[in-house]
């Protein structure tokens, strides 16, 4: 599955990853208050299309207050699953008692989940971390409370809030959570390559994996994992032709969603990710960043044919 990523998981990104096999994708996290206010940015985050299924909408909230209003507004949108974020480590979020701050209050988290389960028309899931910090690892307790609240599955990022996005993934803790629950457990954390995905499945016994940073500029990670798990075949990354075709397709989707000028700005970060590991690519990237014209941007992308594909991930 494609894990949610704020500032990244828009409709074009989801569609590209789905085209290589991502079986479920999420919107980035959306604050329930923003949903209730129907603001423009939030409506864009909720933008979807018939091919963008199954889709999870991820919500962020400190308490139950705005949930009912948000659920009302969400009935205007098509999606398949509601995920609740109790994992975001950003101080701006946790200071207000949202995201990973809720790991410190498993009962409060369970109360929020119960409201969602009782009122949502789709299955509800939660995303947690192993705990707040190394001294308060409590994912098993949090997960059991969440399961009791009636959720359908649990996502766990195998790091504490304090670790943020670096440091070792706690495979043992994910396994403890998996062993304690009856509902499916989907594991996240350093699923950056097929061998790390394999490690996650092997060491935790998880029911599924969610790929986040491993999909940046590398939607082929889903195809590699699926070919390995379904057919037992190791395939390598894409040849340059396919890389270029995918970049163009992704770029086209972004332009369709956001228009030429804004779209080129949005796509810059994706171009950096797609061209990571190509030796000597900086002048080409710089040239792409100087243009605000779609045709010129596409011509520059064509110049990638001069480069060798980066070596496949191991
Ligand atoms: C840029 C970025 C944005 C993220 N935004 C969210 C988010 O909105 N909601 C969420 O649950 N997790 C978010 N995450 C966490 C990822 O979903 C994932 O759990 C985490 O990155 C660990 O996986 P990885 O090591 O494979 O990247 C974000 C991660 C990154 C790198």
Q: Is the CB of 71 under 6 A from ligand 1?
A: no
**CB 127 near ligand 1, within 6 Å:** yes
pLDDT attached to residue 312 = 54
Decide whether any atom of ligand 1 lies within 6 Å of the 181 Cβ. no
Q: What's the whole-number mean pLDDT along residues 2-8?
A: 97
Range 34-40 contact pairs with CB under 8 angstroms and sequence separation of 24 or more:
35/59, 35/66, 35/69, 35/70, 35/73, 35/74, 36/66, 36/69, 36/70, 36/72, 36/73, 38/73
Q: For residue 236, what pLDDT is reported?
A: 87
DSSP string over 3-67: PP-TTT--HHHHHHHHHTT---EEPPPEEHHHHHHT-HHHHHHT---TTS-SEEEEEE-SSSTTH
Q: For residue 28, give the ligand 1 atom closest to its CA.
A: 8
Question: pTM of the entire structure?
Answer: 0.96
Measured from the Cβ of residue 134, the count of other Cβ atoms closer than 10 Å reads 12
Contacts of 51 (CB under 8 A, 6+ apart): 15, 18
Q: Residue 314: what pLDDT?
A: 42
Calculate how far, in angstroms, residue 126's C-alpha sits from the geometric centre of ligand 1. Answer: 14
Q: Is the CB of 163 under 6 A from ligand 1?
A: no
Pocket of ligand 1, candidates 159, 165, 170, 198: which has the most ligand atoms within 8 Å of its Cβ, to mutate? 165
Locus of tokens 């975001």? 88
Q: Assess whether the C-beta atom of 4 lies below 6 angstroms from ligand 1.
A: yes
Q: Which candidate, 154, 287, 270, places its Cα nearest to that of 219?
A: 270
- Angle (nearest 5°) at CA 179 between 178 and 184: 40
* Distance (Å) from CA 295 to ligand 1 centroid: 33
Tens of pLDDT, residue by residue over 86-128, are 999 999 999 999 999 999 999 999 999 999 999 999 999 999 9
Would you say the CB of residue 213 lies under 6 angstroms from ligand 1? yes
Percent of the chain with pLDDT over 90: 93
Going from the Cα of 132 to the center of ligand 1, the distance in angstroms, rounded, reads 16
* Amino acid 311: pLDDT: 61
pLDDT digits over 149-190, tens only? 999 999 999 999 999 999 999 999 999 999 999 999 999 999
Task: Quote the tokens at residue 297.
Answer: 């941007």
Signed CA dihedral, 43, 46, 50, 52: sign only: positive
pLDDT of residue 313 exceeding 80, the answer is: no
Average pLDDT, the chain: 96
220 Cα: distance to centroid of ligand 1 (angstroms): 18
> Is 109's C-beta closer than 6 angstroms to any atom of ligand 1?
no
Axis-axis angle for helices 260-274, 240-258 (nearest 10): 150
The alpha carbon of 48 and the centre of ligand 1 are apart by a number of angstroms equal to 20
Among 218, 248, 17, 26, CA closest to 256: 248
Kindly give, in sequence order, each residue whose CB lies less than 8 Å from that of residue 164, ignoring residues fewer than 6 positions away.
89
Active site residues: 88
Beta bridge partners, 31, equal 60
Average pLDDT over residues 36-50: 92
User: Best mutation site among 3, 59, 125, 128 for ligand 1, i.e. most ligand atoms within 8 A of its Cβ?
Assistant: 3
Q: Residue 3 Cα, ligand 1 centroid: separation in angstroms?
A: 6
Residue nearest to atom 23 of ligand 1 (CA): 189
Answer whether 30 contacts ligand 1 (Cβ < 6 A). Answer: no
Q: What is the pLDDT of residue 39?
A: 86
User: Which residue has better confidence, 25 or 38?
Assistant: 25
């Amino acid at each position: 599955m494609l894990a949610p990523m704020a500032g990244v998981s828009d409709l074009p990104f989801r569609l590209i990853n789905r085209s290589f096999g991502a079986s479920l994708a999420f919107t980035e996290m959306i604050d329930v208050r923003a949903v209730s206010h129907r603001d423009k940015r939030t409506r864009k985050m909720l933008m979807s299309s018939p091919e963008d299924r199954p889709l999870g909408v991820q919500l962020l909230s400190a308490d139950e207050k705005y949930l009912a209003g948000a659920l009302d507004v969400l009935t205007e949108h098509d999606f398949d699953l509601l995920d609740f974020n109790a994992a975001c480590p950003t101080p701006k979020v946790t200071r207000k008692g949202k995201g990973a701050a809720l790991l410190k209050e498993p009962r409060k988290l369970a109360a929020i989940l119960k409201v969602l389960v009782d009122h949502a028309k789709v299955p509800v899931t939660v995303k947690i971390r192993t705990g707040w910090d190394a001294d308060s690892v409590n994912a098993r307790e949090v997960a059991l409370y969440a399961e009791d609240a009636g959720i359908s599955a649990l996502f766990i990022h195998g790091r504490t809030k304090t670790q943020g996005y670096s440091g070792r993934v706690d495979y043992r803790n994910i396994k403890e959570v998996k062993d304690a629950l009856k509902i499916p457990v989907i594991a996240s954390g350093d699923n950056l390559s097929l061998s790390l995905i394999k490690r996650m499945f092997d060491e935790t016994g998880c029911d599924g994996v969610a790929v986040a940073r491993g999909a940046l500029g590398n939607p082929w990670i889903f195809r590699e994992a699926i070919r390995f798990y379904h057919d037992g075949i190791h395939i390598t990354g894409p040849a340059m032709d396919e890389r270029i075709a995918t970049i163009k397709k992704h770029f086209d989707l972004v332009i369709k969603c956001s228009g030429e000028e804004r779209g080129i700005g949005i796509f810059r970060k994706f171009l950096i990710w797609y061209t990571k590991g190509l030796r000597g690519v900086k002048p080409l990237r710089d040239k792409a960043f100087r243009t605000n014209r779609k045709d010129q941007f596409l011509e520059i992308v064509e110049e990638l044919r001069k480069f060798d594909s980066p070596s496949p991930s191991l």
